[in-house]
Amino acid sequence: MIHKINEASDYIKSKLDIEPDVGLILGSGLGVLAEEITNRTVIKYEDIPNFPVSTVEGHAGQFVVGNLQDKKVMAMQGRFHFYEGYDMEEIVLPVRVMYKLGIENLLVTNAAGGINRNFDPGNFMIIQDHLNLMGDNPLKGENIEEFGPRFPDMSEVYNEELRELAEKIAVENKIKIVKGNYVALSGPSYETPAEIRHLRNSGADAVGMSTVPETITANHMGMNILGISCITNMAAGVLPQPLDHKEVVEIAEKVKPEFSTLIKGILKEM
């Protein structure tokens, strides 16, 4: 595994003339932010040794590296999902590679369904903590000591200072922000209303099919992590209508300007 990681990061390093300091993972429909990166180098996943290729609609499948605000960022336009059939190792390879390239700060975004009845579609949720209900763990298998310990502490995966900063930027820009726990399931089927009731009773506020593998891995390596969910729909059974992936994409599209303001504001001050 370490050999695969090194090969991928050596290839990327050979294409870059800057050293990025913030990693940005852009979720479903939120990849547009990468278009605002200047002095950009685009590296397609398909050209990187050992990289899987993203298959989901609305995901570009490339790194965009360059300047956003005054930060040097490495953005993933498209990520790998467990439901696509990838192994956990493949899903978290980009985060391992980011760390190898010297990145210590990770900003992760996703589209999620609102479980908390006080949420509305279009809200942004600062991830306070997560529940890993994917039925797998990216750290399974041999531990690579240079990345972190066998049994990493998970008491504060999502950095408190960064969470406070995100809230401050949202308030300053009059962007509706909520806070809560994100639960990750494997997907690809959406949840049943019974599952959503169960998850609500377990303390989950929003549900999705990503993010947790990457943040467990980044936490293993001691990175500073901020997670932001875009609530694209209310979870199954919260409202009378059925769920539709189109709705998820539409809301993500609609909140684009606010999302961009929020992330850029955070980057500026982090």
Is position 238 an interface residue for ligand HPA (rule: CB under 6 A)? no
The correct pick among 29, 113, 138, 180 for binding ligand HPA (CB under 6 A) is 113
For 240, phi then psi, to 5°, come to: -65, -25
Is position 158 an interface residue for ligand HPA (rule: CB under 6 A)? no
The C-alpha atoms of residue 270 and residue 264 are separated, in whole angstroms, by 10
Q: Give, as ranges, the residues between 165 and 204 that touch ligand HPA (CB under 6 A).
A: 190-191
Cα 183–Cα 185–Cα 191 angle in degrees, nearest 5? 95
Q: Which of 59, 75, 88, 235 is catalytic?
A: 59
Q: How far is the CB of 25 from ligand HPA (least distance, A)?
A: 15
Is position 26 an interface residue for ligand HPA (rule: CB under 6 A)? no
The correct pick among 175, 209, 218, 266 for binding ligand HPA (CB under 6 A) is 209
Q: Which of 45, 75, 81, 98 is catalytic?
A: 81
The C-alpha atoms of residue 107 and residue 93 are separated, in whole angstroms, by 16
Is position 123 an interface residue for ligand HPA (rule: CB under 6 A)? no
Q: Which amino acid is residue 186, in one-letter code?
A: S
Catalytic-residue membership of 81:
yes
CB 54 within 8 A of CB 61: yes
The C-alpha atoms of residue 92 and residue 25 are separated, in whole angstroms, by 11
Q: Which of 34, 45, 60, 84 is catalytic?
A: 84
Q: In the numeric block, which tokens belong to residue 103?
A: 């990145």
Q: How far is the CB of 191 from ligand HPA (least distance, A)?
A: 6
Q: Which of 8, 9, 28, 110 is catalytic?
A: 28
The C-alpha atoms of residue 140 and residue 258 are separated, in whole angstroms, by 37
Catalytic-residue membership of 209:
yes
Direct distance between the N- and C-terminal alpha carbons of the chain, in angstroms, rounded to an integer = 32
Q: Which amino acid is residue 140, in one-letter code?
A: K
Q: Which residues bind ligand HPA (CB under 6 A)?
A: 111-113, 190-191, 207-209, 232-233, 235, 243, 248
> Which residues are marked as active site?
28, 59, 81, 83-84, 111, 209-210, 233, 245
